[in-house]
Structure 1
Amino acid sequence: MKRDNDLSIREKVVDLIRNKSTSLPTLPVVINNIIITAKNDKTTAADLAGFIANDQTLSARILKIANSVYYGQPKEIDSITRAIIVIGFKEIVSIALGSEIFKTFSTKNSYNMIDMNELWKHSIAVGFAFRHLEKKTRMSFTESAMLSGLLHDIGKIIFILYFPKDYEAVLEEQRRADDVPLDVMERKMLGIDHSEMAYLLMKQWNFPANINLPIRFHHNLSECPFEHLNMATMINIADYLCHRCGIGFSGNLVIERHDSAITGLGLSIESIDTIVHELEEDRPQVDGFLEAMA
């Protein structure tokens, strides 16, 4: 049997997950209840609103986000029930999950490897870019767009919180290498990248496969199960778009454009340039969404 010091980071992570370690972050009870409630086909808008209303802070945050420019509602939404009716059941579930995870992790980090505010801004911008891609491709993953953006880099936060020295070495080595993407450097030095880390954590949280798997493979499209490939590709391209625009910062110094992924969604390189312009105009909305999440 290996001693703990002899285990790779990947082996340590898998052990933590397998043993359901209490040292890993857990979701608040209200969020677990929402996940369970959302999975029940018989759940009504009133049922969901009742769970959310039990947490006044969460309720206020959801209403603030629902009234942000991102959702573009002409009239103020003044109740959770109204928000569910107007914005949609699954979208409100996504807002609740995303905002609660944001709150959980925004208060934990005491390291300065990656600016957390900039990382969250990047993640929110990925949600915006995802929406633009939906419009261009006429594909719809509406309930997953912002949640996918918020969670696609959460593995980096876990590395920073639980393996700070190891991850600082990864970031330093990437700075020296200059031309190696961060996920590649993570796999080389840790045996696991941030997308797999996110996947393992979300599995423990009982997140559905339609969120888990696209995030798991957004840097490794060739291995993505076919039924999740379009969404994984959207996250990949949205990630690239936000880096190109420089909205926030994810810690990755090298971003590759995968032209085959772009054309695989039926897009042209020219259409990507158009989305870049549209995303640039979203900067104030991204800042507003981040403020609403806080």
Structure 2
Amino acid sequence: MSQQALISRLNELPRIESILQELLEMVNKENVDFNELSRKMSMEQVLSARILRMANSAQFGGNKSVSSINDAIIRVGSGAVRTLVSSSILSSAFPKIETLNLKDYWSNTFEISMIASKLAPSVELDPNEVFTTGVLHNIGELMIHSLVPEQAVEISRRVEGGESMLKVQRDVLSTDAPELGARLAQAWQFPLEMVDAIANVNRPGKARVSKKLACLLYFAREVNKRWDSFLDDAEKQDFLHSHPAAMALSISDEMIAVIDEVRGQGSELAYELFSD
């Protein structure tokens, strides 16, 4: 299949529900009207349940549980709402994919997003923007499994045999998941910085407007894949001192404790949000 043939099938994907598009536009504004945001969110049953679940989760929960949408929004903040809206857009556009374990997909996606967002302040990036981009960073994989499931199975089989994911995707599809994801993010009118980071998440050096963001997400993916195999802090230090992305971002040894603490939180949040 040619690259253009696959990209031309973007219109086969479900369109963003108007209420979700309106909510995304609202939370992307500099000054968010929380009352209007609450009113709009109340119109979307699944999203309402998820914002309440998020507000009462271990990550955001206080001494007292909240039961109103307005209180939930105030507790989690507009950045978390933006993330929730973005993930809801994806889950509504790709509700069921036979060739992909969506539970594992969301678990890994949120784990990477959480790691990146916790490291964001140390590299002078906004944690909320980083988290939202993290949630979107691998939408190209969802597209491949949704539009060309037979080719997706072939790609998975070859990757399990030891071949490079991106190389196989380009061999089979004449394109890869990051490029497809960026095209979809652009079609859905996400900010240019997010589109650029998604396109270059596996090659951050090629990013034009968001090199640091792409590099951080690339590093977070590496951490998610390798961190649990390290036996002690010495091995983790060696990893930080030798990994090109960690060195480019000047990730300090102090971040070891940050990463250790955040491990598992993304998976837990994904389970809480998508267990319906």
What TM-score do the two structures reach when normalised by structure 2?
A: 0.84
Quick one: structure 1 residues 78 and 240, their matched pair in 2 at CA, closer, same or farther if it must change by over 3 Å? same
Which residue is equivalent to 1:47?
36
Return structure 1 stretches of 4+ with deviation > 6 angstroms: none
* Inter-partner Cα distance in structure 1 for 2:129 and 2:66: 21
> Is the contact made by 2:56 and 2:66 (CA closer than 8 Å) also made in structure 1?
yes
CA positional deviation for 1:116: 2.0
Query: Does 1:108 pair with 2:106?
Result: no
SS at match of 1:78: coil
The counterpart of 1:134, out of the listed 112, 120, 123, is 120
User: What code does the residue aligned with 2:189 have?
Assistant: N
> Is the contact made by 2:52 and 2:69 (CA closer than 8 Å) also made in structure 1?
yes
Quick one: structure 1 residues 104 and 92, their matched pair in 2 at CA, closer, same or farther if it must change by over 3 Å? same
Ranges in structure 1 where 5+ consecutive residues have no aligned partner: 1-6, 248-255
* Inter-partner Cα distance in structure 2 for 1:39 and 1:127: 18
Give the aligned length: 265
Which residue is equivalent to 1:260?
244
CA positional deviation for 1:169: 1.9
Query: Does 1:287 pair with 2:268?
Result: yes
User: What code does the residue aligned with 2:145 have?
Assistant: I
Query: Does 1:86 pair with 2:86?
Result: no
The counterpart of 1:69, out of the listed 51, 58, 66, is 58
Identity between Structure 1 and Structure 2 (%) = 19
Quick one: structure 1 residues 62 and 100, their matched pair in 2 at CA, closer, same or farther if it must change by over 3 Å? farther
> Is the contact made by 1:62 and 1:96 (CA closer than 8 Å) also made in structure 2?
no
The counterpart of 1:121, out of the listed 93, 104, 107, is 107
User: What code does the residue aligned with 1:121 have?
Assistant: S
CA positional deviation for 1:67: 2.1
CA positional deviation for 1:126: 0.7
> Is the contact made by 1:69 and 1:285 (CA closer than 8 Å) also made in structure 2?
no
Query: Does 1:232 pair with 2:225?
Result: no
* Inter-partner Cα distance in structure 1 for 2:259 and 2:75: 29
* Inter-partner Cα distance in structure 1 for 2:52 and 2:143: 28
User: What code does the residue aligned with 1:130 have?
Assistant: A
* Inter-partner Cα distance in structure 1 for 2:61 and 2:117: 13
Superimposed CA distance per residue, residues 229-267 of structure 1 (whole angstroms, 9 cap, x where no aligned partner): 1111111111111112469xxxxxxxx998222111111
Quick one: structure 1 residues 88 and 218, their matched pair in 2 at CA, closer, same or farther if it must change by over 3 Å? same
Aligned pairs (5 A) from 1:5-20: 7-8=1-2, 10-17=3-10
Superimposed CA distance per residue, residues 95-149 of structure 1 (whole angstroms, 9 cap, x where no aligned partner): 12213423542x32122xx4221111111111221133125x2534222233223
Which residue is equivalent to 1:165?
150
The counterpart of 1:152, out of the listed 97, 115, 137, is 137
> Is the contact made by 1:199 and 1:216 (CA closer than 8 Å) also made in structure 2?
yes
Quick one: structure 1 residues 188 and 285, their matched pair in 2 at CA, closer, same or farther if it must change by over 3 Å? closer
* Inter-partner Cα distance in structure 1 for 2:76 and 2:269: 18
